[in-house]
Amino acid sequence: MEQVRLYYDEMDSPIGILTLISNGEKLVRIEYGELKDRGDQMDKWLIRYFGDVAFIHSEDKMEPVINQLQAYFNEQKRDFTLDFEFNGTPFQQKVWQALVDNIPYGETRSYKDIAVAIGNPKAVRAVGGAVNKNPFSIIVPCHRVIGVGGQMVGYNGGLDKKEYLLAHEKHI
């Protein structure tokens, strides 16, 4: 089996280093931390959706992504216009698309709201599991999903990052 080439770059942000990964045409993942520190969960995801991967550092391929994220953090951009590719189960993809379609900048929704939006109001726990596996932190706004009572609950990057992102978006 031939190795799949994935391109990456890392950027500093107010919430730490972000690793950006592309297949050369579309963004496939944003990960908190450095590529060298990726965990088992990301490795399993890579194997499942790409097989044998060769990472190639490429500032050029990631420049549009970095520019948009920097504009977001500099309070100059609210919406992203990036090509990205969801790699997940059909249910996960449905949930991730619902995050993009149903949670405007600066607003929040509950896990139950998302379950209702995808037409499966009893799937609140499954929605939570899909939100936790969102491969596009910030761009696909999983940080805008909160508990039904308004409480901060789980965030793959840590609650401190979620709180920062929500406060950042309320500021503009």
Please tell me the number of Cα atoms within 13 Å of 21 on its side-chain side.
28
Q: Residue 123: name the closest of 89, 100, 147, 95 by CA.
A: 95
CA dist., res. 69 & res. 90, Å (int): 27
Residue with tokens 């990960």: 31
CA dist., res. 141 & res. 91, Å (int): 17
CA 172 to chain centre: 21
Q: Does 142 qualify as catalytic in the annotation?
A: yes
Given 98, 118, 142, 166, the catalytic residue: 142
Tokens found for residue 105: 């900048």
Q: State the catalytic residues.
A: 142
